[in-house]
Structure 1
Amino acid sequence: AELAIRIGEAQVLSIPTNGDVKPQRLICNDVPIMFHEMGTTLKAYVAVPVKTSIKSFICELTYLLDKKEVKAIVAKVKILDKEFQSEVLNVPQTTIDLSKKDLERYLKEKEIIAKAYATPNQAPLFYRPFVAPLNSVLTSTYGRKRIYNNQKENQHGGVDFRAAVDTPVPAANSGKVVLAMDLFFSGKTVLIDHGLGIFTMYAHLNKLKTRVGEYVPQNAIIGLSGMTGRVSGPHLHWGVRVNSINVDGMEFIKIK
């Protein structure tokens, strides 16, 4: 298969297999990728990070045939470029120059978040395409270079929807809640594991309406939007992560 994927986006890779073959590992760009077998097709989501210096990579499937390991190149991926705008944000200076206490909290939370992402469900927990949680105006798009108080810079890993405080926030797809807590930067946050290496994140919530371990159907209300954490106003930050890479949710929902 030949795929062309823009930076910060993902695509479905479908590989035809036959009954005698037992797929073991799928490696794309030297990274293990989750896959799922449906009949005679193997399905996986391949993502490209927003920051990358390479122009292409391959996906290689290792499978067992007559008890022997065999490797086959199953996809060649061409990376397409994309331009991103910049924006300047003003936030409380204490959220840039962290106090010792805040820094300790942030580092502890970083570990908790890493743990939530660490054991993704291999099989898909969703059965239909992903949908955007809200239909409101986007106040900030994915991949924007953000300059905080004219000092710190990073790239926006999600999309921001305009949302008045206490707007109900539905799950973009069915899955299992792996994190639901108040975090220093993203405020009250919910993280859903959808299987196949796909996670969605809902941040700056005013209220959590779910708990860790709960299976939620698509469109179930998982929280109410707000302006908790490091924000310059009320909104919903929505993130989509595919095999450890943050991708543009508005492009991801186009995958059928």
Structure 2
Amino acid sequence: MEVANFLRDADLSLFSNNRDLEYDVEKLGVDPGRTHVFANGIPEAFLNLNFEPTPEAEDSVIRIAWVATYIPRKGIHYSVPALNKILARYPQVEVSFIMGTGCPEAQVYADFEPSVHYRIRVVPHYQHETIPELLRGHHIKLFPTLCEGFSVALIDAIACGLAPVTTTTPGPMEVVRDGDNGILVPPRDSQAIEQAVECLITDRPYLEKLRRNAYATAQKYSWHRIARDNLAFYEAALSHKRGTK
């Protein structure tokens, strides 16, 4: 009740996704005229990176990147079974786990069949500015998160030219349009993850289309643009408050 009262009395409320905004308007009675959705941005160095075309030969390597902590909330219980099947079925597929922090390397390898370990790379720690280098040569961003307000890691990856396979959770749905700049799958659905990844591996023109559209989408997330938009929200709210007084 205290939070609801605070939001109803606020001159401006900013939300990281539309679903959260709609909930507060419909369930808590927040004035929709004093609400906005804001995005997070990416460094200018991540914009307009060199785009490497998708390899066309069926036996050429396709690399999948996991850029997230290796925890249940990010969907590991559903992605690991799917990736085990994909790696067993497609010898040209490699997977990189770029985790930052989360768990020891040995835990990741233990979740996969020993026969595919040589096609798995684990990066337990990294600096954010090294993301473009770490993702060079990758084509698919796997992000089967179970709950996400907004994901900067998703924007980072598509800025590097990766096609996202992610879930129909609020944050990713602010960015990904199914079949246009990525593939959306239901949360907690290992089979859907497997099918989506397989579709991209076996249909290189489709993968190329999604990658290019995702890359174009990422260019809209400049911190300068995000800051300018947020400043406009504050100025409009302040102008409205002065006018009412």
Tell me the TM-score normalised to structure 1 length. 0.25
Higher RCO (C-alpha under 8 Å, 6+ residues apart): 2
Tell me the TM-score normalised to structure 2 length. 0.26
